[in-house]
Amino acid sequence: MLDSIQAIARNGLRYPTSEFDKERYERLLDLTTKTYSELLSVPEEVVREKFVDEIGHITAKVGTDAAIFNESGEILLMERSDGSGWCLPCGFVEPNETPVEGIIREAREETGLDIKVNQLVGVFTRKPSATMGVHTTVSIVHLCEAVSGQLKTSHEGHALKYWAIDDMKNWHATHEIIARAAYKMWNSKKIIPAVSA
């Protein structure tokens, strides 16, 4: 609900119809900023800055993730530099980029691997919370395979390793759910073409 209120406030500030409406939207944004600050234990000015940095119509963040398995059915995971656990290679889709183009770029940046995108696993939604941050994220996850390159960490990760899913105990955000859905698909070997648009 809080995410909806702050989106209404930010959209209203983008398209105000009067000075009175602008004041109301500012007040809503102040209230949601204060509440997020308290829930996340982050200073109000940091939360406000993140909100104000966004321009245009506020929508969910669009992420893209690569589920890359080795022949033993272990999934490639990255230990994140921010200390939030292990995740699939992932990132946000950039302007003028498809989810497939985005995950090919992210995989190369985060792992050093060139990948082939084989199949759409699914679309997953992560809603905001005290542990997940202030934005709703929609992640488009693909089953991928490494075609060339050598594993190499970037500034975003401390380590890269193929893991048996049941052996990983320190998952980032909702990545365990994504990994298990991808494993089920990988294990079935049923290949459906990736969505490129």
Per-residue pLDDT of the chain (197 residues; tens, 9 = 90+): 787 888 888 888 877 788 999 899 999 999 989 998 898 888 999 888 877 776 556 778 899 999 999 999 999 999 999 999 999 999 999 888 999 999 999 999 999 999 999 999 999 999 877 777 777 899 999 999 999 999 999 999 999 999 999 999 999 999 999 999 999 999 987 555 555 54
Distance CA 173, CA 190 (A): 27
Domain shared by 49 and 66, yes or no: no
DSSP 167: G
How many of the other CB atoms lie within 10 Å of CB of 19?
8
* Amino acid identity, position 106: E
Distance CA 77, CA 85 (A): 10
Domain residues for the domain of 9 are 2-53
Distance CA 16, CA 23 (A): 9
197 lies in some domain? no
Domain shared by 38 and 113, yes or no: no
pTM here?
Answer: 0.74
The pair of structure tokens assigned to 25 is: 């939207």
Side-chain half-sphere CA neighbours of 168 within 13 A: 25
Domain shared by 86 and 147, yes or no: yes
Quote the number of domains for the chain. Answer: 2
Domain shared by 115 and 162, yes or no: yes
135 lies in some domain? yes
